[in-house]
Amino acid sequence: MNYSKAASLGLANMWVAFTFFAFAALLGLYQVIERIDLIPALKSPEMYFGSVSTHGVLMGFVLTTFFVAGFGYYTATTSLKQDVWNRPLAWFGFLLSLSGVLMAAVPLLTGNASVLYTFYPPLMAHPAFYIGATLLVVGSWAWCLEMVMMLATWKKANPGETVPLAMYGTTTNAILWFITSLGVTSELLFQLIPWSLGLIDTVDVGLARTLFSWTLHAIVYFWLIPAYIVLYTLVPRAAGGMIFSDHMGRVAFIMLLVFSVPIGFHHLYMDPFHAAGWKFLHMTGTFMVAVPTLLTGFTIIASLEVAGRLRGGKGLFGWIGALPWNNPLVLAAGLALLMLTFGGFGGMINASYAMNTMVHNTQWVTGHFHLIFAGTTVIMYFAAAYYLWPKMTGNALYSTRLALTQLWLWFIGMLVLTLPWHQLGLAGQPRRISSTPYDEELVQSWLPAEFAMIAGGVILFTSALMLVFILLKTHGNSQSVENPEVEYAESLHSTQRMPHLMNSFGFWVALIVVYMVASYGYPILQFFLLDTYGTVPWSI
Amino acid sequence: MRDPFRSICDDDLERRWIWISLILAFAMGGLLGLYAVASNIHPPSNVETIDSSRLHLTEEFAEDKLGVKQNDDGSLTVTMVAARYGFFPPVIEVPSNTPVKFRIASADVLHGVHVPFTNATAMIVPGYISEINTSFPTAGKYSFLCNEYCGLGHDSMWSRLIVVPESTQGK
Ligand code: HEM
Ligand SMILES: [Cu+2]
Ligand SMILES: [Cu+2]
């Protein structure tokens, strides 16, 4: 069948992602140096909080949204062997998102939006920041629609067939993101934008935080799902084996979809305005959402074991040595799983409703999400880029050796950065501080870990530059790629007879609606029943 | 009994792992939940509104009403205001091993409080009153840190909490 792959859509989106990523990594390096009062000349809260706001927005919203879209377009076309549903719409969404980012960049870089990527009313930013953020999200909805329509078109043309796992995961993510982003979009449209334009005088901060929490948890699965898709569908083949179970992949995606949105209150454990019972309910769901990750860990390790044994590995652990660790996808998968194990352990502590008091808003939290998000998730983005750049450009990877070094540096840098951060958090250091003018004794005890964090930042920044260098060199490489086709892994167990529920989404979306009404219905309604007092804007 | 997961997965090893994962999740959630309920440890979850722009006019949070008060049952209530960039009153002294209820309101933006090495933590949200229920087993000098970004002076927002040994308090 004749179809055209979305190479230019993929490349455009991913280049935007990695360009902003590199700039944000530079800001990260500046932040680790500034925040410990090492160089007095560098001291400036204005710069620091402008930088943290920009770093958070670029890493959390820009790198991810564009990477996910580019990755989605390319996997959708190559796994379904079908054209993009509506090309002009896809480009329109891309340009809308990009213009949103450029619009928000002006207040961010001039210090007029130092309200952090979590917005934090009643601190008020310039309206261009809120409007830019809204355009970024609305642009990404074009991608959601494209993915859903591509799946629908394919199903019509292939009645009764099993949707390829890569597309099943991508569509899960499109649906998940649309539902997830409704929370923050409501906050922006009904509260922050009218308030910053002076159309309304006050905002209810409790309501704003509740709406943001709707987005804040599930957004991390929007970031993570592409990494899981790579682990399930590309890594086993690259390792020389098969997916241990295609079914488990689907179960994991469905569980992520159903359980990740209605549990946002674990970000509000320490807030007033929601009764403990609601927080308890959301905690239960939070533990359930660990299940798909446990399943994924098992399936990926089992798939790697299949590959190792096919390559002649023997014994309980001999298969590990037999794996092709000189393949960037395989190496990244191994490193990602290690970081996921450490990070998952910390996550259990954050999620526990009582233990959270010890770590809430400390540097522990920053350590936790850099490990899982900047570590596990982003290292899989890198590996995907090394795999897809040659397919999308037609040029061979510039240097596999350099790519492997880059991945190792990212892993080492992440550990050197985040393990001390966990320790600093337990020793009471708050996150989001530009200096440490605290109790002398406390500050002294923080010093060793702070020096380690600077070393981590330097290693990570080096690695970030290497990534962009390798991608640029690959793009301009005169040597062509040997095999321009994306090779998805086959499943060890047959996928012929797929239960209907694991090949469709209707039922699950209905289930989420019910679950969302149960867990967010009253908590949102209460702000209209209580005698609440809005808050006027404050400048930073 | 037939394994209910047989319809989605026909590998024995994998079905065993599904069970282990589910049991792990339920055991952890269940254990933490049970522990929280049994020993009555809940995150600060007071639902009470207040007009943050008029704190000085209220019965409870007017400047001369702030500080430590003893209740009839021997427990303490500490009333505080968080405002850029300090906690008021700036020094709080409480005895060890005594139930303390902090009631804190913000006069302006979002703040937080964390006392390192203890479980005294809460967000302080304009428009709402935060409550922390705790007690401090170990006497000593503690820091009361603002742990939520509240503006450019956020770093310097901290104050003192002094926990004195129970007996020296004369009660
Ligand atoms: C060169 C590597 C990096 C370094 C040195 C670095 C460093 C930092 C530092 C110092 C902070 C501020 C901590 C604070 O004051 O609380 C921060 C915040 C943050 N970083 Fe990174 N980071 C790096 C890479 C990443 C990556 C790859 C991501 C995600 C893709 C990421 C996402 C974030 C987010 C979401 C925040 C939170 C901002 C906030 O608290 O509002 N970072 N990072
Ligand atoms: Cu979360
Ligand atoms: Cu503060």
Instruction: Name the pLDDT band for A495 (thresholds 50, 70, 90).
Output: confident
Q: Which of A175-179, A280-284, B35-39, B44-48 has the lowest mean pLDDT?
A: B35-39
Q: Quote the percentage of chain A above a pLDDT of 90.
A: 81
CA dihedral A80, A86, A91, A97 (to 10 degrees): -90
CA–CA separation, A81 vs A488, rounded Å?
Answer: 12
Verify whether residue A368 is a known catalytic residue.
yes
Q: Are residues B33 and B64 in the same domain?
A: no
User: Residue A204 half-sphere exposure, CB side, CA atoms within 13 Å?
Assistant: 18
Provide the 10 A C-beta neighbour count for residue B4: 9
Q: A68 with A131: CB under 8 angstroms?
A: no
Q: Are residues B100 and B34 in the same domain?
A: no
Q: Are residues B22 and B57 in the same domain?
A: no
Nearest-Cα residue of chain B relative to residue A251: B8
Instruction: Name the pLDDT band for A1 (thresholds 50, 70, 90).
Output: low
In this prediction, residues A497-517 reach a mean pLDDT of 90
Tell me which residue range forms the domain holding B90. Answer: 52-168
Instruction: Name the pLDDT band for B132 (thresholds 50, 70, 90).
Output: very high
CA A370 to chain centre: 11
CA–CA separation, B84 vs A7, rounded Å?
Answer: 51
Confirm or reject CATH 3.40.50.2000 for domain A4-529, answering yes or no: no
Q: Are residues B79 and B33 in the same domain?
A: no
Instruction: List, for residues B3-18, the tens digit of each pLDDT value.
Output: 777 776 777 888 888 8
Q: Are residues B152 and B127 in the same domain?
A: yes
Whether residue B110 lies inside any domain: the answer is yes
**Å from CA of B57 to ligand 3 middle:** 22
At residue A242, does pLDDT exceed 50?
A: yes
pLDDT of residue A197: 95
Does the distance separating the beta carbons of B112 and A362 come in below 8 Å? no
Mean pLDDT of chain A: 93
Q: Are residues B34 and B78 in the same domain?
A: no
Instruction: Name the pLDDT band for B170 (thresholds 50, 70, 90).
Output: very low
In this prediction, residues A130-156 reach a mean pLDDT of 96
CA dihedral A23, A25, A26, A27 (to 10 degrees): 90
Q: A232 with A299: CB under 8 angstroms?
A: yes
Q: A493 with A251: CB under 8 angstroms?
A: no
Question: Which residues of B fall within a CB distance of 8 Å from A438?
Answer: 143, 145, 158
Instruction: List, for residues A195-226, the tens digit of each pLDDT value.
Output: 999 999 999 999 999 999 999 999 999 999 99
pLDDT of residue A160: 87
pLDDT of residue B43: 86
Q: Write out the two tokens for A92.
A: 């329109």
Does the distance separating the beta carbons of A434 and B123 come in below 8 Å? no
Q: Quote the percentage of chain B above a pLDDT of 70.
A: 94
Q: Are residues B11 and B80 in the same domain?
A: no
With H, G, I as helix, E, B as strand and everything else as coil, classify residue A206: helix
Mean pLDDT of chain B: 89
Q: Are residues B26 and B94 in the same domain?
A: no
At residue B42, does pLDDT exceed 90?
A: no
pLDDT of residue A466: 97
Q: Are residues B17 and B77 in the same domain?
A: no
3-state SS of A74-104 is HHHHHHHCCCCCCHHHHHHHHHHHHHHHHHH
Interchain CB contacts (distance < 8 Å): A and B: 209
In this prediction, residues A437-443 reach a mean pLDDT of 91
Does the distance separating the beta carbons of A294 and B154 come in below 8 Å? no
Whether residue B9 lies inside any domain: the answer is yes
Strand ranges, E, within A102-204 = none
With H, G, I as helix, E, B as strand and everything else as coil, classify residue A402: helix
In this prediction, residues B22-45 reach a mean pLDDT of 85
Alpha-carbon gap: B47 to the closest alpha carbon of chain A (Å)? 4
The tally of domains found in chain B comes to 2
Specify which of A62-76, A312-326, B21-35 reaches the highest per-range mean pLDDT: A62-76
Q: What is the DSSP letter of B6?
A: G
Whether residue B46 lies inside any domain: the answer is no
Q: Are residues B88 and B149 in the same domain?
A: yes
pLDDT of residue B1: 58
Whether residue B81 lies inside any domain: the answer is yes
**Å from CA of A55 to ligand 1 middle:** 6
CA–CA separation, B9 vs A246, rounded Å?
Answer: 9
At residue B171, does pLDDT exceed 50?
A: no
Verify whether residue A497 is a known catalytic residue.
no
ipTM value = 0.92
Does the distance separating the beta carbons of B127 and A270 come in below 8 Å? no
Whether residue B139 lies inside any domain: the answer is yes
Alpha-carbon gap: B11 to the closest alpha carbon of chain A (Å)? 8
At residue A492, does pLDDT exceed 70?
A: yes
pLDDT of residue A374: 96
Residues with CB under 6 A from ligand 1: A 25, 28-29, 31-32, 35, 52, 55-56, 59-60, 63, 116-117, 366, 370, 373-374, 378, 431-433, 457, 460-461, 464
Going from N- to C-terminal start, the domains of chain A cover: 4-529
- Is the Cβ of B17 closer than 8 Å to some Cβ of chain A? yes
Does the distance separating the beta carbons of B21 and A294 come in below 8 Å? yes
CATH number for B66: 2.60.40.420
Ligand 1: which atom is nearest the Cα of residue A417? 5
CA B84 to chain centre: 20
Nearest alpha carbon to residue B51 among A539, A535, A524, A205: A535
Alpha-carbon gap: A247 to the closest alpha carbon of chain B (Å)? 7
Which residues, 6+ apart, have CB-to-CB distance to A172 below 8 Å? A225, A253, A254, A256, A257, A505
Q: Are residues B157 and B110 in the same domain?
A: yes
Q: Are residues B14 and B79 in the same domain?
A: no
- Is the Cβ of B87 closer than 8 Å to some Cβ of chain A? no
